[in-house]
């Protein structure tokens, strides 16, 4: 599987974010071209999650804009949703649905061609080592297994842009290595990866964005 | 459309597996209505006079019970973020969730209503119109309720706040629902009441999902 080679780049200019009356970052710009990866770095509270939510379209930036090639993303939120996978802090795994049902629902919602989505969902389960858990209800899963179920969405329905907020949380070493391989394949196919992490995830040639560089100094301390 | 059906199917499956919501709503409806003969005495004349009002007021309260769960579970486990980020418009997702909510709570209320009407000695002329008002009215309750459920997301004591927000908005449904039944029982035409009720449904159908979608986006900011 590979994406259209003419995929434009994903970029943001002059982005600012205000949370709870505090300026988290301002004047932030970034650009990700097809096949590239961007790692967001910075201490807790530096706005990594907020920036990913802005990129996904969950949060409106207080300033600046995001662009997909030449088109502004604010003008076409549904098209942006179709080409994006967002993995947040929560795993969105329903306790009473089985692993396969959970995954298939998200896959079909992303790609309504049900048959195609079901095949891709099975392959995604295999890839993340969940095949033997496919009929287990979500409430029986460990934190790491839930996380893998959530990550399996990435492969269950193809999308070029992956936005991942600390995807390695609760994962063991082997799963992290598998995830790194999945990232490498995705980038080789022309996809883009943006992630925030506190752990070292091997992303050869990834660009780094240090968020503390865009922080605004508070005039009066806490 | 495919996505709409997918969300409806998922919510129905969740409701069936968890099972408690529908049963709780219908049980509340039945138990509360049964309290009235104890409270105001078993004279059939008195019960008949209040039957339409009792059924409708109790149905309103019963439908409120399950509303705070409409978006709350999805909000807590992160599903709501992903639902907002689906390529379908959020309004479609909201309509699908409301549709599933009505099928699991409104429809059981509708089916239980005639049995309880017998218990309250409702005049047989009112039965058809009772069913009709419930059929038109309960979807309005789910639709308006969705706005409230979206607005109270993340609030503490959301259930109580939800009642305060939503009950005043239910008043027109109550007035015209009861009005239609009373008219039918007194051998007058129920049509004007039913038409206004249908008008309310037609107005709520596009407006409520739009408002609820805006509230959901706000809740996730």
Q: Are residues A168 and A76 in the same domain?
A: yes
Q: Are residues A172 and A78 in the same domain?
A: yes
Residue B178 has pLDDT above 60, yes or no: yes
Q: How many domains does chain A have?
A: 2
Give the pLDDT score at A24.
Answer: 87
Nearest chain B residue to A90 by CA: give it. B78
Q: Which domain holds residue A75?
A: 8-83+160-222
Give the pLDDT score at B134.
Answer: 94
Nearest Cα to Cα of residue A3 among A82, A109, A121: A82
**Average of per-residue pLDDT across A130-150:** 90
**Average of per-residue pLDDT across A116-131:** 82
Instruction: Give how far A78 is from chain B: nearest CA, Å.
Output: 5
The domain boundary residue, chosen from A120, A138, A157: A157
* Mean pLDDT lowest among A66-75, A108-117, B27-36, B99-108: A108-117
Query: What stretch of H or E contains A9?
Result: none
pLDDT in tens, B53-95: 999 999 999 988 888 888 988 998 889 999 998 888 889 999 9
Residue A135 has pLDDT above 80, yes or no: yes
Q: Are residues A66 and A172 in the same domain?
A: yes
Q: Are residues A103 and A65 in the same domain?
A: no
For chain B, percent of residues with pLDDT exceeding 90: 63
Q: Are residues A39 and A143 in the same domain?
A: no
Residue B107 has pLDDT above 80, yes or no: yes
**Residue B79 has which token pair?**
């599903």
List alpha helices for chain A, DSSP H. 48-56, 77-82, 99-110, 114-127, 143-156, 173-188
**Site of tokens 């990550």:** A151
Q: Are residues A79 and A164 in the same domain?
A: yes
Q: b vs e for A107-141, b when ≥16 Cβ sit within 10 Å of the residue's Cβ?
A: bbbbbbeeeebeebbbebbebbebeebbeebbeeb
Contact B3 A112 (CB under 8 A): yes
A56 neighbourhood in chain B, CB within 8 Å: 85
B14 neighbourhood in chain A, CB within 8 Å: 94, 96-97
Q: Are residues A150 and A170 in the same domain?
A: no
Q: Are residues A19 and A109 in the same domain?
A: no
Contact B78 A89 (CB under 8 A): yes
Q: What are phi and psi of B146, to 5 degrees?
A: -60, -35
Instruction: Give how far B4 is from chain A: nearest CA, Å.
Output: 9
For chain B, percent of residues with pLDDT exceeding 70: 100
Residue A115 has pLDDT above 80, yes or no: no
Nearest Cα to Cα of residue A53 among A93, A88, A14: A88
- What's the residue count for chain B? 221
Residue A1 lies in a domain: no
**A218 CB-contact burial (10 Å; exposed 0-12 / middle 13-18 / buried 19+):** exposed
Residue A74 lies in a domain: yes
Contact B26, B61 (CB under 8 A): no
Strand A10-19 versus strand A22-32 pairing type: antiparallel
**Average of per-residue pLDDT across B36-41:** 90
Residue A209 lies in a domain: yes
List alpha helices for chain B, DSSP H. 2-18, 20-40, 44-67, 69-76, 79-84, 90-101, 107-119, 127-151, 158-185, 191-220
| pLDDT, chain A, mean | 86
Give the pLDDT score at B171.
Answer: 95
Residue A197 lies in a domain: yes
- What's the residue count for chain A? 222
Q: Are residues A14 and A73 in the same domain?
A: yes
Give the pLDDT score at B100.
Answer: 94
A147 touches B: beta carbon within 8 Å:
no
Contact B2 A78 (CB under 8 A): no
Give the pLDDT score at A218.
Answer: 56
Give the pLDDT score at B54.
Answer: 94
User: Sheet of A37-41: strands edge to edge?
Assistant: A84-87, A161-165, A192-196, A37-41, A207-210
**Residue A180 has which token pair?**
């790194």
Give the pLDDT score at A222.
Answer: 43
Q: What does the domain layout of chain B look like in residue ranges?
A: 2-220
Contact B93, B86 (CB under 8 A): yes
Query: Which residue(s) pair with A22 in the sheet?
Result: A19
Q: Are residues A48 and A106 in the same domain?
A: no
Nearest Cα to Cα of residue A53 among A146, A210, A165: A165
- Inter-axis angle of helices B158-185 and B191-220, nearest 10: 170
Helices and strands: H and E segment counts in chain A: 6, 9
Residue A76 has pLDDT above 70, yes or no: yes
Q: Left, alpha or beta for A110 (phi > 0: left; psi -120 to 50: alpha)?
A: alpha
Q: Which of A88, A90, A108 lies closest to B6 in CB terms?
A: A108
Residue A88 lies in a domain: no
Distances (CA, A) of B78 to A93, B84, B119: 8, 10, 44
| CA A144 to chain CA mean position, Å | 17
Q: Are residues A79 and A181 in the same domain?
A: yes
Give the pLDDT score at A217.
Answer: 64
- Tell me how far apart the alpha carbons of residues A96 and A81 are, in angstroms, rounded to a whole number: 27
Q: Are residues A68 and A166 in the same domain?
A: yes
């Amino acid at each position: 599987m590979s994406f259209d080679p003419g995929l434009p780049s994903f970029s943001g200019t002059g982005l600012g974010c205000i949370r709870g009356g505090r300026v988290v970052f301002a004047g932030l710009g970034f650009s990700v071209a097809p096949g590239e990866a961007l790692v967001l770095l910075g201490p807790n509270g530096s706005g990594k999650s907020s920036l990913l939510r802005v990129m996904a379209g969950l949060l409106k930036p207080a300033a600046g804009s995001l662009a997909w090639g030449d088109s502004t993303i604010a003008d076409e939120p549904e098209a942006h949703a179709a080409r994006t996978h967002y993995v947040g802090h929560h795993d969105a795994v329903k306790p009473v649905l089985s692993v396969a049902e959970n995954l298939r629902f998200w896959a079909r919602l992303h790609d309504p061609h049900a048959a195609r989505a079901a095949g891709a969902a099975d392959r995604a389960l295999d890839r993340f080592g969940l095949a033997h858990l496919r009929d287990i209800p979500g409430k029986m899963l460990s934190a790491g297994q839930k996380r893998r179920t959530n990550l399996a969405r990435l492969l269950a329905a193809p999308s070029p842009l992956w936005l991942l907020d600390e995807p390695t949380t609760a994962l063991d070493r082997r799963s992290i290595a598998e995830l790194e391989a999945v990232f490498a394949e995705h980038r080789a196919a022309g996809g883009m990866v943006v992630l925030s992490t506190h752990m070292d995830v091997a992303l050869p040639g990834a660009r780094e964005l240090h968020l503390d560089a865009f922080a605004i100094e508070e005039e009066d301390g806490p | 459309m495919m996505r709409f059906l997918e969300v409806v199917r998922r919510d129905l499956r969740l409701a069936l597996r968890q099972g408690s919501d529908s049963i709780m709503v219908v049980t509340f409806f039945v138990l509360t209505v049964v309290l009235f003969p104890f409270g105001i005495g078993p004279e059939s004349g008195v019960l008949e006079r209040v039957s339409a009002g009792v059924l409708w007021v109790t149905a309103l309260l019963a439908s409120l019970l399950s509303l705070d769960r409409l978006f709350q579970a999805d909000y807590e486990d992160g599903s709501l973020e992903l639902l907002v980020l689906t390529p379908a418009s959020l309004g479609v997702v909201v309509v699908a969730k409301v549709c599933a909510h009505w099928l699991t709570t409104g429809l059981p209320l509708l089916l239980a209503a005639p049995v309880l009407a017998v218990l309250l000695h409702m005049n047989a002329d009112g039965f058809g119109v009772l069913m009709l008002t419930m059929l038109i009215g309960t979807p309005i309750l789910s639709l308006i309720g969705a706005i409230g459920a979206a607005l109270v997301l993340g609030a503490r004591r959301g259930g109580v706040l939800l009642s305060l927000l939503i009950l005043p908005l239910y008043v027109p449904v109550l007035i015209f629902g009861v009005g239609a039944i009373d008219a039918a029982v007194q051998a007058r035409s129920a049509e004007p009441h039913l038409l206004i009720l249908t008008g309310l449904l037609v107005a709520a159908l596009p407006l409520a999902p739009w408002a609820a979608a805006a509230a959901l986006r706000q809740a996730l900011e």
